[in-house]
């Protein structure tokens, strides 16, 4: 029965795609530099997804909505795909090969003298991170921040930048590209500070989720082709230069 339902869903999806002139409705989260810019059609992650779909022969209709809303729309069939997902988002979806990897880093001020070699080192310092970080990075991280003299989590990246640059915390845990692309790069006096990033927590793959396995397969094939053509690297370097990101 499940196989029959999947076959019927595939046929319905193919008919819908044909009727819409090979258009894929792609849910994109709200602006999160450098990965998604305002409007949802640009930014490193959004551009790579759109370029891959174009490589597969599809036009992309971007629908920019909050992450939770986009996931609900994907499950309900209101969109065909969504970026910035992990396989834990839903068992009912089909996930691409990693489109890119988020660079999780522990970031300190260069002048602080802090040196971090392992997650347990965080227990000695005040730490701020993004929401639910303590649930994402495993028991060593969770144990370390539980022993930290001050640990907090924040939904707003700008808050993390301000806390570190104004010496309110010793360490922030963030994606390195998001930290560096955030508009706030100075303290309250307008002073810039050099920072140091420590790769204590590894990198996290981000996938495109699909309601249909056939489109997922086409996307994966096109992603290989995009990388082989050099276009994937060209787009990556374009955004690294735009936001002055490290290699």
CA angle 188, 191, 115 (to 5 degrees): 100
pLDDT of residue 19: 44
Q: Which pLDDT score, from 0 to 100, does residue 17 have?
A: 47
- Which residues lie closer than 8 Å to 167 by C-beta, 6 or more apart? 109, 187
pLDDT in tens, 84-100: 999 999 999 999 999 99
Q: Which residues contact 101 (CB under 8 A, 6 or more apart)?
A: 203, 204, 205, 206
- What is the CB-side half-sphere exposure of residue 111 using CA atoms within 13 A? 7
Alpha helices for the chain (secondary structure H): 2-19, 44-55, 67-75, 133-136, 138-147, 157-165, 176-181, 213-229, 231-243
DSSP state at residue 66: -
Query: What is the structure's pLDDT at 247?
Result: 85
State pLDDT tens for residues 150-173.
999 999 999 999 999 999 999 999
Spans of the chain, pLDDT less than 50:
17-20
pLDDT of residue 27: 98
Distance from C-alpha of 45 to C-alpha of 49, rounded to nearest angstrom: 6
**Are the CB atoms for 177 and 236 separated by under 8 Å?**
no
Domains and CATH numbers, the chain: 2-93+211-243 (3.40.190.10), 102-203 (3.40.190.10)
CA 204 to chain centre: 8
Structure tokens at 32: 């999160």
Does the pTM surpass 0.85? The reply is yes
C-alpha 93/C-alpha 115 separation (Å) is 41
């Amino acid at each position: 029965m499940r196989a029959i339902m999947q076959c019927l869903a595939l046929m319905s999806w193919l008919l819908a795609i044909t009727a819409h002139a090979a258009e894929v409705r792609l849910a994109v989260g709200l602006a999160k530099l450098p990965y998604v810019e305002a409007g949802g059609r640009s930014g490193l992650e959004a551009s790579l997804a759109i370029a891959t779909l174009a490589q597969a022969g599809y036009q992309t209709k971007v629908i920019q909505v909050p992450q939770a809303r986009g996931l609900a729309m994907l499950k309900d069939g209101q969109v065909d795909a969504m970026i910035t997902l992990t396989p834990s988002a839903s068992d009912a979806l089909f996930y691409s090969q990693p489109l890119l990897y988020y660079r999780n880093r522990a970031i300190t001020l260069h002048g602080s003298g802090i040196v971090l070699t392992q997650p347990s080192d965080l227990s000695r310092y005040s730490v701020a991170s993004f929401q639910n970080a303590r649930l994402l990075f495993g028991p060593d991280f969770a144990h370390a921040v539980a022993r930290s003299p001050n640990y907090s989590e924040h939904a707003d990246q700008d808050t993390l930048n301000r806390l570190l640059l104004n010496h309110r915390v010793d360490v922030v845990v963030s994606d390195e590209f998001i930290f560096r692309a955030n508009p706030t790069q100075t303290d309250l006096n307008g002073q810039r500070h050099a920072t140091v990033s420590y790769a204590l927590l590894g990198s996290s793959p981000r996938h495109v989720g699909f309601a249909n396995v056939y489109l997922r397969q086409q996307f994966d094939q096109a992603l290989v082709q995009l990388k082989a053509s050099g276009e994937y690297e060209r787009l990556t370097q374009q955004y690294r230069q735009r936001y002055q990101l490290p290699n």
